[in-house]
Structures are given as C-alpha cells and as structure tokens.
C-alpha cells in the first residue's frame, strides 16, 4: 500500500558567486558591525517611547505560531496585503462537502426494537443499526464516535469545507444504515467517513480502514466509487499512522490497515466516495486507554482530517 503525501518542487542549483561581489561584501561587513555596536550602545535610551521589545510585541502576537524573534521580519509585513494568504490557501476546501457519519447513536440502547428492524442494503436485508460496543469501563462507542466527529468537523470547517453529520445525538436513535448512505448521497458529498471503534478480543490492537468492495447486485452498485474510495482510505490510513502513532490492525488487513468488505449497507448504497474507520479496539485495555483519552481523540480527528484534505486536494 502506498500512502500519498505532499510533493515538493525540485531545488534549483545556485549560481556561482562572482569574485568581485565577495570582495565587496567583505568590505561592508566591518561597517555593518560597527553600526550595530553603536545601535546597541544607544538603543535603550529611547526613541520609541516604550520598553525594549515593546514595539515588536504586536508583531509577535499577530503570528503566535512563529518561533522566530520579532526582529526576524519587519513589523510592516503583517500589514502588507500581499503577505496575507490567498483565499484558496486560507480555505483550500472551500466549495467541498464532507459528510461525517458518527457510528451508532447514544440513544440506541433505549430503542432496541427500532434498531433491530430490517432494512434493505441493496443486496439483502440487515438490521437498521446496532448499539455498538464499549470499553470494559463502560465508555461507549457511540460517545466516542460523536466526540471524534465534533473534533473532525471543527478541523474541516477551519479548512473551508461544508461539513454535515448524519446524526449529532439529536434524534432518539439511528439513523438506519440505509438512511446514513442516503444522507451522503443527497449531499453530493465529495467524501464521506463513517467513524467507529471495534469490539474485538483482548490483544487485538490497532486501527483499520474499511473500503467498499466492487458490488453490482440488486440496487447496489459500488463500481464507480471503488477507486476513489480506496484513494481516500489509503490517505486516511497514512495520516492516521503519522499523527496518532497507532499501528495498523494486528488482526485484520494483514498489517496494511485496509480491509475490503461487501456486507456493509453504508458502503453498498453509497454513490459517493466513502470509507469506514475503526479507530481502535475498545475491548483491549491498551487501545481503550487511547480511545478514552481526549488528547488522543484529537490526534485521531487530525489524522482523519489530513487524509480527507489530501484526498480532496488531489
């Protein structure tokens, strides 16, 4: 499996310096050094009306992520219109639609009869939904998926994307798996990600991304989305490894972190690129320690987000 990432322009070879230029620069260095020493000797005596460094403090606060000192760039740079990012750079996903599908629903436990009714998934009938799994301490998959979905929504909106959730804990149960697919289709989403956590046995660790198989049966036809969905899944898997430090599943996917399935209605009924991600195994104590950590869930959201951004930017 290949994980795609950003590409960089080749470095251009430097032109050889002229001898005369070297001599001229050498002649200027003592003068510049002398000027700096004079400035240091008198600089504290005033002129700006403030304490040393006060004038550059505004520039530093305007660029909180910069590790450079305020004197590394003129303060006027922050006011220069040309220094501002272009609209496409500031919002690279503007005009793009992403649907996030938080698996299950916290209310499913109180509506077992409703979620057990059968719906058609294109090839056969299957239960509307399930309650999902939980850690041994009772932290439910439904709570986990909503938390990660909220974090992911914030990250994608910051990049300019229009983000929709299939559910936001705002309904008594569900939606059913067929309706979840319809929501993504109706939104004409550029990408859909269904968030889950697994409930496998202890000792089974790691994440895996589930891709749609090529299905052409009944009302299901995934053939147009198989290719782009794999691309989306590979990019999410690559960034998830990088940003969370988690390894691909040691129990499915043969170490690739990718699994192809043809029995999931959410994939079979989708007409837009879609994948599932099982972020870890809630029934393993080591994975559970990660899944219940807010700091790790933020990393998980970042990993999924970066994969989506990479896919949509091509």
Who has greater pLDDT, 71 or 168?
Answer: 168
Phi, psi for residue 195 in degrees, rounded to 5:
-100, 130
Over pLDDT 90: what percentage of the chain?
A: 71
Q: Which of 203, 205, 198 is nearest to 255 (CA)?
A: 205
What pLDDT was estimated at residue 88? Answer: 63
Residue 21 has pLDDT above 60, yes or no: no
Asked if residues 204 and 249 have their Cβ atoms less than 8 Å apart, the reply is yes
Query: Lowest-confidence range among 9-18, 87-96, 201-210?
Result: 9-18
What pLDDT was estimated at residue 251? Answer: 98
Q: What is the mean pLDDT of residues 60-66?
A: 33
What pLDDT was estimated at residue 30? Answer: 42
Q: What is the mean pLDDT of residues 306-311?
A: 98
> Would residue 158 show up in a list of annotated catalytic residues for this protein?
no
Who has greater pLDDT, 108 or 6?
Answer: 108
Q: Where are the domains of the chain?
A: 93-313
What pLDDT was estimated at residue 69? Answer: 33
Q: 44-55: per-residue pLDDT in tens?
A: 333 333 333 333
Q: Tell me the C-alpha distance between 4 and 267, whole Å.
A: 23
Residue 83 has pLDDT above 60, yes or no: no
Q: 165-178: per-residue pLDDT in tens?
A: 999 999 999 999 99
Q: Tell me the C-alpha distance between 261 and 215, whole Å.
A: 10
Whole-model pTM: value is: 0.73
**Fold classified for 93-313:** Aminopeptidase (3.40.630)
Residue 129 has pLDDT above 80, yes or no: yes
Please report, in angstroms and rounded to a whole number, the separation of the first and last CA atoms in the chain.
17
Q: Tell me the C-alpha distance between 45 and 176, whole Å.
A: 73
What pLDDT was estimated at residue 198? Answer: 98
Q: Which CA distances in Å does 104 have to 173, 182, 187, 191, 266?
A: 8, 16, 20, 19, 12
Q: What is the mean pLDDT of residues 286-306?
A: 98
Confidence of residue 239 (pLDDT cuts 50, 70, 90): very high
Tokens of 249: 């599943």
Query: Lowest-confidence range among 25-29, 55-59, 183-187, 196-200?
Result: 55-59
* DSSP-based three-state secondary structure for 220: strand
What pLDDT was estimated at residue 11? Answer: 33
What pLDDT was estimated at residue 18? Answer: 42
What pLDDT was estimated at residue 86? Answer: 53
Residue 144 has pLDDT above 80, yes or no: yes
Catalytic residue selected from 141, 179, 278, 306 = 278
Who has greater pLDDT, 302 or 36?
Answer: 302
Over pLDDT 70: what percentage of the chain?
A: 72
What pLDDT was estimated at residue 133? Answer: 98
What pLDDT was estimated at residue 90? Answer: 74
Tokens of 131: 């309650």
Q: What is the mean pLDDT of residues 10-31?
A: 39
Residue 42 has pLDDT above 50, yes or no: no
Query: Lowest-confidence range among 11-15, 124-128, 197-201?
Result: 11-15
């Amino acid at each position: 499996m290949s994980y795609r990432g950003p590409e960089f322009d080749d470095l251009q070879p430097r032109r050889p310096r002229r001898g005369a230029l070297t001599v001229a620069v050498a002649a200027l260095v003592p003068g510049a050094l002398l000027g700096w020493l004079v400035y240091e000797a008198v600089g504290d005596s005033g002129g700006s009306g403030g304490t040393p460094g006060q004038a550059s403090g505004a520039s530093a606060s305007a660029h909180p992520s910069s590790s450079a000192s305020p004197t590394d760039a003129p303060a006027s740079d922050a006011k220069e219109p040309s220094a501002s990012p272009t609209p496409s750079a500031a919002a690279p996903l503007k005009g793009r639609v992403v649907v996030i599908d938080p698996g299950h629903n916290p209310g499913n436990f109180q509506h077992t009869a409703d979620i057990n009714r059968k719906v058609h998934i294109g090839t056969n009938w299957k239960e509307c939904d399930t309650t999902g799994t939980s850690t041994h301490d009772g932290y439910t998959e439904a709570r986990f998926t909503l938390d990660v979905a909220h974090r992911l929504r914030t990250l994608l909106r910051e990049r300019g994307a229009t983000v929709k959730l299939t559910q936001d804990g705002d309904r008594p149960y569900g939606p059913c798996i067929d309706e979840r697919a319809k929501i993504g289709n109706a939104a004409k989403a550029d990408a859909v990600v269904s968030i889950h956590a697994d409930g496998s046995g202890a000792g089974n660790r790691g994440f895996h991304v589930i891709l749609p198989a090529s299905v052409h049966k009944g009302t299901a036809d995934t053939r147009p989305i198989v290719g782009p969905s794999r691309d989306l899944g590979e990019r999410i898997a690559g960034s998830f490894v990088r940003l969370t430090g988690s390894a691909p599943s040691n129990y499915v996917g043969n170490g690739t972190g990718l699994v192809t399935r043809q029995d999931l209605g959410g994939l079979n009924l989708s007409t837009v690129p879609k994948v599932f991600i099982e972020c870890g195994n809630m029934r393993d104590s080591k994975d559970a320690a990660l899944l219940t950590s807010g700091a790790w869930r933020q990393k998980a959201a970042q990993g999924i987000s970066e994969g989506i951004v990479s896919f949509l930017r091509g």
